[in-house]
Amino acid sequence: MAGSPGPLFLLLFLLLCAIGQISAQWKPTWPAYRLPVVLPQSTLSLAKPDFGAEAKLEVSSSCGPQCHKGTPLPTYEEVKQYLSYETLYANGSRTETQVGIYILSSAQGESAGKSRRKRQIYGYDSRFSIFGKDFLLNYPFSTSVKLSTGCTGTLVAEKHVLTAAHCIHDGKTYVKGTQKLRVGFLKPKFKDGGRGANNSAVPDKMKFQWIRVKRTHVPKGWIKGNANDIGMDYDYALLELKKPHKRKFMKIGVSPPAKQLPGGRIHFSGYDNDRPGNLVYRFCDVKDETYDLLYQQCDAQPGASGSGVYVRMWKRQQQKWERKIIGIFSGHQWVDMNGSPQDFNVAVRITPLKYAQICYWIKGNYVDCREG
């Protein structure tokens, strides 16, 4: 019949449709999770801390993946205790909040040497220093900020910064300077204090503009667990600024299994101590994982601790690509791999329970924390 498509055209059309379906399936997609709810149950006042601890820009543990996987699963009451938290206010007052956990998924019960003190570089140094305001002031690099205690943090809301707990608390008390904690934002510094007549002056260099912190939240799993193997699992903290930072931030997300990450890789940027004043970006493959930790060999130096570990995946609901913070860079561990010691850098994964807790700290209600 005239005008009807021929067999070759139909075959080509079906082939293109099949290719389109296959390519769509290959998009690394953010998985949907049934999230629990973590709510405060009671709050009591604590004595003011002495702020006597020395700032530690890295932590280490000899308990590697197999050690963690062999750890007995925590009970429901233990998980509630680990997710309870301390809040420190700018005036030095402190509270402890006990939490309740509701609508738990079947995964809720999952787990919850030597130390290399100077270098966390593996072979050739694969880090990239980010230069120029066009990069430093653009997303995602603009979400990285510097803490006055020497660590890195990541903007996760209009007034909130995610970082590592050890950057402000050593497991026993708060570090020096935490009561007057500040967060630094890199901004261009122009010669003669301003722009030229044509409004196109080239900045002389970058400088930090600082905002004071209003309050901090640290999980009790870090405070009680720093002396044993669970401590690193809870090495995260949230800072609330005294005023909005007015930058684009990166949302937090539940950490997918490593095999679902695009290329099996993670990314993060931080203020490594060996490159003062520079923001340093890196990416690398995940080598191993437990329920709470990601093991990788991203090159890093002290100062990068607290960096937000992120990936970019397809958001099916909005039909767009989106980066999310799925972990917090913590430190390194010596791991016994088949009788041979091997060094890994470690990131704390944002599990469904940790997501529910951090999101509540940010939002102040659980209704806005139902999607990870």
**Residues catalogued as catalytic:** 166, 229, 305
Distance between CA 119 and CA 59 in Å, rounded?
Answer: 13
For residue 254, give the DSSP letter: P
- 32 burial via Cβ count (<10 Å: 0-12, 13-18, 19+): exposed
Amino acid letter, residue 281: Y
H or E segment and range at residue 315: strand 308-315
Distance between CA 131 and CA 55 in Å, rounded?
Answer: 28
Q: Which of 294, 296, 175 is nearest to 233 (CA)?
A: 294
Give yes or no for a contact between 284 and 298, defined as CB atoms under 8 angstroms apart. yes
Report the alpha-carbon angle 278-298-114, nearest 5.
110
Q: Which two tokens stand for residue 347?
A: 């990131």
Strand runs labelled E in 264-351: 265-270, 279-289, 293-296, 308-315, 320-337, 340-349
Rg (CA), the chain: 23
Torsion of CA 57, 63, 69, 70, to 10 degrees: -150
Give yes or no for a contact between 30 and 313, defined as CB atoms under 8 angstroms apart. yes
Torsion of CA 194, 200, 201, 204, to 10 degrees: 100
